[in-house]
Structure 1
Amino acid sequence: MSLSSALNTAVTGLSTIKSQIGVVSGNVSNAQTPGYSRKVVNLTTPSAGGQPQAALVSSITRAVAPEIQKDYYGALASFQQLSVAADNAQGLADALDASNGTGSAATLSTLMTNYEDAVKQLEATPEDTALKGLVVQRGKELCSEINRLSGLQSKLQTQAQQDLQTNVGTLNDAAQQIAKLNTQIVSQKAAGNPTGDLEDLRDAEVTKMAGLVGVNTIVDSNGSMSVYTQTGSQIVAGSSTQTFTYNPTTNTITNGAGSDVTDGFHTGAITADLNYLDGSAAALSSNDPNVGTLAKFFNQLDSLATNVATVVNNAYDDPATAGVEQFFTFNAADPSGTLAVDPALVTTPANVDATRMGAVQQAMETTQLTAAQVNPAGAANGLQISNVTVFGLMNGVLAYHAKAADENETNRDTADNLQNALNQKMLNLTAVDVDTEMANLQTLQNNYAALAQIMNAVSQMFDQIISVGS
């Protein structure tokens, strides 16, 4: 090898190592940066006259694990859906005081028992006017709690709708960011520039999107990414995006063309809230407590109010009189209807018929409700119980939501473990190992120093040759 060739090889080698040192240094400095993937210098060894030359940088790419990443996106969507479902279920259980964790009876159970106890006391001492007032008071307290729970409908519905609006907005924003990054990546790649950092930013937006809807991605040869829902609805194609809109009136999602694409969203956080708010006949007939959840909840309260009023009123009505006596008033068909103690008894508690208290107490303890009474076909509520008393119905409602909250929490934790495991597996392949990078950096620095010495030696030899010639 001539001195000029040796010098050229050393200079080229120094340039290549300098590029490698820069990439490795960048890896080390970004080791703790969320979403950063390890960058890799790819080398090529050209030849001249059949002889290998100094290695050159052919490209700078990033470490990727596409198959694991795909599985991670699916696991993330499942976790986010179960997480939202768990929060929704726990919210209803908390409203019912169904899983207070203290071992004490739920508020609804306590108030029902208090009403029955007052009835028993009046049965034992029918002449006590004060006990008549107590029965009325305990009845009002029971009504107040059921009505309070029924009154949560607007608040819970509005909150879920607002969450959906926010999540759909986040989905649209992420889609727009991916489209912008697609344009930049295609341009930089065409110019032969590294695109790893831009791809990291794009993956961060895809991850954000995956938790909302669940996605599949396809990357073209030019570096542009297309994003679809898991059912094939297109979200991003190159620099173009779909803009989605949530309609709270119909609980549907439409695309920019106005087409209903709700069926394309079957996993992720958005799906969880869509299912929660779904009041369709199909949702109400579903055995899944996370589908039609809100409508089932309020139908259960209506069932409880209707059956309490019916059982008590049937027993309170004196068959020996021509008129119809009632203790409670309730009309489930009236959207604004509330369970209440008969206004005449509230105004004059002394009018309570103490002679009917024994029948009332007996009816509450023994009247068996059919499946159709518990879970009416026209207002399905998901309760799969029958031949229970009003106490059994109340306990069934509490147990339904306590179980739903518990199962959702368990399923969410399982999904969380899976997505964390997949994320760690992906990081093991793509993240920066500082110890390894520092070792690489030391090796590169040593090589750089060795090439610098060679270059210095060649330079001295040139000087000697020039000196001899002069």
Structure 2
Amino acid sequence: MSLSTAMKTAQSSFSNVGLQSAVASKNIANASDASYARRSAVLATAATGASVVETQRAQNEALLKQNLISISKSSAQDTLLTGLTSMKMMLGGEDYELAPSTYLSKLRDNLQAFADKPNEVSLAETVIADATDVANSLNSTSLAVQKMRAEADADIGTAVTELNRLLSEFKIYNDQVKQGTAAGTDVNDALDQRDKLLTQISQIVGVSTLKRTNNDLALYTSDGTVLFETEPRTVTFTPTPTYTAAVTGNPIYIDGVAVQAGAGGNTSAQGSIAALLQLRDEAAPIFQNQLDEISRGLISMFSESIETPAGSGTFVDTDGLFTWSGIPTVGSPGLGAVIKVNPAVITSQGGNAMLLRDGINDTFNIGNNASFSELLKSYTAAFETPMTFDADAAIDTTATILAFSTGSVGWLEQLRSAATTAGDDKAALLGRTQEALQNVTSVSLDEELALLLDLEQSYKASAKLVAAVDEMITALLQAAG
């Protein structure tokens, strides 16, 4: 090997060590950044030895795509479970102590006690208080359900705004990747940012990718709607600020195509907005329908059939213990929010609790008999009599009022239990997928420090070569005198 060749080899080695050290140092500096993918300097054989030809970024396309799917599914499941847990808390939590079924059981028991002692005013007052608790439970739960729908609607609006922002930012880095790839420059930092945006987008909506020329990416939703293709597609949504049972929320459109809500406890949704739609437009309305049906059943059970006019043989159902206020009618959406106890039996409102025994219109206990209990017994019997309920309430269509109200709790608990199990499964899958991806792309400080030690030895070897060449040149010059 000539002295000039030796010097060129040493210079090449110094250059390689410098570049490799810079890459390793950058890896170490970004070791805690989850969006950073490890870099490695790639060497190739040249006339003067090896030289760094490019800096490669660790990646695995298959694992990245699987990770995006896992993020979308886990995000949707967590969103649904949060909403269902909120619905459970409306009913009092683990023991469901605030559920209408709890208050209905107490009403039935005290009504039976009153039927056994129909002359006890205190028992009459107790029954009226129990009926008030039932109505208040239905009212408060109905209002809480509609509040939850409004909150879900607001969350959808926030998510849509964020999605549009992320897509706009995605275009910036996608353009950098395309231009850099075409020009042959380093685009690794832009790729990191683009992948980071992908994970954030996948939390909001299910996304799949298609790689095209010059590393260009096109994005599609999980159902095939174009999300990004050279330019971001517009995501539109009009919020609805106030919700009642009769209000239907507005859809979300991506490139003019409506986003579909998820379905089931193990939701089919991918991304938070599909799960929010499921809560707003499916789970909450079904629960509201159950509350409305309980209210309808109560109003019907305690209604009084009055001959009008007297002696005509024509009987008309009139309000009994329960009535309602406002626009909704029996069988219409929102009845649970407006059901109330008839003021005629509320002492504090000028009523008489004993009218529950004698009839609201005071037409049953004609002789004002203190032991009259026929009407009260008919009410207690009604608690054991099956009724017909709306099939859209997703519970048995024929059941007693207590069985139906208990079935409402069971429906919610079954849905929440399925969501909890699915949430654990999807979180575990996401954890495994992220771990597998990080094993490929993340920075290991041990490996980087070991590499720096190897580079140090390479630098020392090159330095020794330069020193040897220097000594040889010095000796030659001295010999030449």
Do these two structures clear the TM 0.5 threshold for a shared fold by scoring above it?
Answer: yes
Q: Which runs of 5+ in 1 are unaligned?
A: 48-52, 279-291
The equivalent residue for 2:91 is: 96
| CA shift digits 1:422-465 (9 cap, x unpaired) | 00011111111211221111111101110111012112222332
The equivalent residue for 1:245 is: 236
The equivalent residue for 2:100 is: 108
Q: Could you tell me which amino acid in structure 2 is paired with residue 124 of structure 1?
A: D
Q: Could you tell me which amino acid in structure 2 is paired with residue 242 of structure 1?
A: R
The equivalent residue for 1:420 is: 431
Partner Cα distance (1:253, 1:108) in 2: 34
Give the match's secondary structure for 1:32. Answer: coil
Q: 8 Å contact 1:251–1:277 — kept in the other structure?
A: no
Pick one of 327, 330, 333 that aligns with 1:332. 330
Q: Does 1:231 align with 2:242?
A: no
Partner Cα distance (2:410, 2:136) in 1: 21
Following TM superposition, by how much is the alpha carbon of 1:112 offset from its aligned partner in structure 2, in angstroms?
1.1
Q: Could you tell me which amino acid in structure 2 is paired with residue 295 of structure 1?
A: P
The equivalent residue for 2:11 is: 11
The equivalent residue for 1:262 is: 259
The equivalent residue for 1:85 is: 80
Q: Which runs of 5+ in 2 are unaligned?
A: 241-248, 263-268, 359-372
| CA shift digits 1:46-98 (9 cap, x unpaired) | 24xxxxx311111102110110111111111111111111111111122123x
Partner Cα distance (2:171, 2:279) in 1: 31
Following TM superposition, by how much is the alpha carbon of 1:159 offset from its aligned partner in structure 2, in angstroms?
0.2
Q: 8 Å contact 1:10–1:451 — kept in the other structure?
A: yes
Q: Could you tell me which amino acid in structure 1 is paired with residue 236 of structure 2?
A: T
Give the match's secondary structure for 1:432. Answer: coil
1:414-453 matched pairs, under 5 angstroms: 414-453=425-464
Following TM superposition, by how much is the alpha carbon of 1:139 offset from its aligned partner in structure 2, in angstroms?
1.2
Shift of the 119–317 alpha-carbon distance from structure 1 to 2, 3 Å rule, reads: farther
Give the match's secondary structure for 2:43. Answer: strand
Pick one of 189, 207, 212 that aligns with 1:220. 212
Partner Cα distance (1:402, 1:263) in 2: 24
Q: 8 Å contact 1:167–1:270 — kept in the other structure?
A: yes
The equivalent residue for 1:38 is: 38
1:299-338 matched pairs, under 5 angstroms: 299-313=289-303, 317=305, 324=317, 326-330=320-324, 331-334=329-332, 337=335, 338=338
Pick one of 105, 127, 146 that aligns with 1:154. 146
Following TM superposition, by how much is the alpha carbon of 1:146 offset from its aligned partner in structure 2, in angstroms?
0.7
1:448-467 matched pairs, under 5 angstroms: 448-467=459-478
Following TM superposition, by how much is the alpha carbon of 1:386 offset from its aligned partner in structure 2, in angstroms?
4.4
| CA shift digits 1:94-125 (9 cap, x unpaired) | 2123xx33x57554233112212221222122
Give the match's secondary structure for 2:208. Answer: strand
Pick one of 37, 62, 65 that aligns with 1:67. 62
Following TM superposition, by how much is the alpha carbon of 1:319 offset from its aligned partner in structure 2, in angstroms?
8.7
| CA shift digits 1:247-281 (9 cap, x unpaired) | 3455322246xx23424995211111122223xxx
| CA shift digits 1:330-385 (9 cap, x unpaired) | 53345564222223223222322252111111211x2012xxx2224xxx1222x2
Partner Cα distance (2:213, 2:24) in 1: 26
- How does the TM-score come out when normalised to structure 2? 0.85
Give the match's secondary structure for 1:27. Answer: helix
Q: Could you tell me which amino acid in structure 1 is paired with residue 211 of structure 2?
A: V
Q: Could you tell me which amino acid in structure 1 is paired with residue 292 of structure 2?
A: D
Partner Cα distance (1:261, 1:118) in 2: 51
The equivalent residue for 1:295 is: 285
Q: 8 Å contact 1:21–1:445 — kept in the other structure?
A: no
Following TM superposition, by how much is the alpha carbon of 1:191 offset from its aligned partner in structure 2, in angstroms?
4.5
Q: Could you tell me which amino acid in structure 2 is paired with residue 267 of structure 1?
A: Q
Partner Cα distance (2:207, 2:96) in 1: 45
Q: 8 Å contact 1:46–1:54 — kept in the other structure?
A: yes
Shift of the 221–18 alpha-carbon distance from structure 1 to 2, 3 Å rule, reads: farther
Partner Cα distance (1:263, 1:398) in 2: 27
* Total equivalences in the alignment: 436
Partner Cα distance (2:334, 2:214) in 1: 60
Q: Could you tell me which amino acid in structure 1 is paired with residue 386 of structure 2?
A: Q
Partner Cα distance (2:455, 2:229) in 1: 41
Q: 8 Å contact 1:185–1:198 — kept in the other structure?
A: yes
Q: Does 1:56 align with 2:51?
A: yes
Shift of the 43–461 alpha-carbon distance from structure 1 to 2, 3 Å rule, reads: same
Q: Which moved more, 1:146-155 or 1:205-214?
A: 146-155
1:333-372 matched pairs, under 5 angstroms: 333-334=331-332, 337=335, 338-346=338-346, 347-353=351-357, 355=373, 356-364=375-383, 366-369=384-387
Q: Which moved more, 1:335-344 or 1:317-326?
A: 317-326
| CA shift digits 1:220-248 (9 cap, x unpaired) | 3423322221222222234x212211134
The equivalent residue for 2:134 is: 142
Q: Which moved more, 1:134-143 or 1:161-170?
A: 134-143
Q: Does 1:399 align with 2:397?
A: no
The equivalent residue for 1:381 is: 393
- How does the TM-score come out when normalised to structure 1? 0.86
Give the match's secondary structure for 2:55. Answer: strand
| CA shift digits 1:268-315 (9 cap, x unpaired) | 11111122223xxxxxxxxxxxxx1111011111111111221233xx
Shift of the 387–158 alpha-carbon distance from structure 1 to 2, 3 Å rule, reads: closer
The equivalent residue for 2:112 is: 120
Following TM superposition, by how much is the alpha carbon of 1:3 offset from its aligned partner in structure 2, in angstroms?
1.0
Q: Could you tell me which amino acid in structure 1 is paired with residue 251 of structure 2?
A: T
Give the match's secondary structure for 1:141. Answer: helix
Give the match's secondary structure for 1:151. Answer: helix
Following TM superposition, by how much is the alpha carbon of 1:204 offset from its aligned partner in structure 2, in angstroms?
0.8
Q: Could you tell me which amino acid in structure 1 is paired with residue 435 of structure 2?
A: Q
Partner Cα distance (1:182, 1:467) in 2: 62
